[in-house]
Structure formats: C-alpha cells, structure tokens
C-alpha cells in the first residue's frame, strides 16, 4: 500500500503539469483536484476488499499528491 502512494507521488504531478500546461487553466485544475480528492477520500469508509482499498488509494493519491506540497506551510 505504501508503494501505491509513492508511485502516484512520482507519476501524478507530471500528468497534472502536462494537463495544466496544455489547457492553461492551472487554478481551475487545483480546484478540480482538491474537490476530486475530497470526494474520493470518502471511498475509504466503505467496506470492501483489499483490492477496492488499493484502487481507492490510487485514485485518491492521484488527485491529492500533486497539490499537498503547495498547501503545506
């Protein structure tokens, strides 16, 4: 499970940066990413298998990891 978080930490910011550069809407992408992370965070509270938890972690960290550094003090 920790490898999933580290993997998305490497891959997700590059994808988000490429999308932001192509669209030019980086502020809107931060808002979309934060909202999507908040929505996908709720998936951790549903009962499921290890596979569903892993998928939830991939989706959540894909949306959260690119932005968590910019919000920390």
Q: What's the pTM? A: 0.75
The span from the CA of 73 to the CA of 71, in Å, is 7
The span from the CA of 69 to the CA of 58, in Å, is 18
Name the DSSP letter for residue 45: G
Which residue did the predictor score with more confidence, 71 or 48?
Answer: 48
pLDDT of 54 over the 80 cut: yes
Query: What are the pLDDT digits (tens) for 21-47?
Result: 899 888 888 888 888 888 888 888 887
């Amino acid at each position: 499970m920790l490898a999933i978080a580290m993997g998305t930490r490497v891959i997700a910011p590059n994808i988000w940066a490429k999308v932001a550069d192509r669209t030019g809407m980086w502020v809107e992408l931060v808002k979309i990413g934060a909202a999507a992370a908040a929505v996908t965070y709720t998936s951790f509270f549903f009962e499921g298998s290890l596979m569903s938890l892993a998928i939830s972690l991939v989706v959540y960290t894909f949306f959260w990891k690119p932005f968590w550094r910019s919000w920390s003090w």
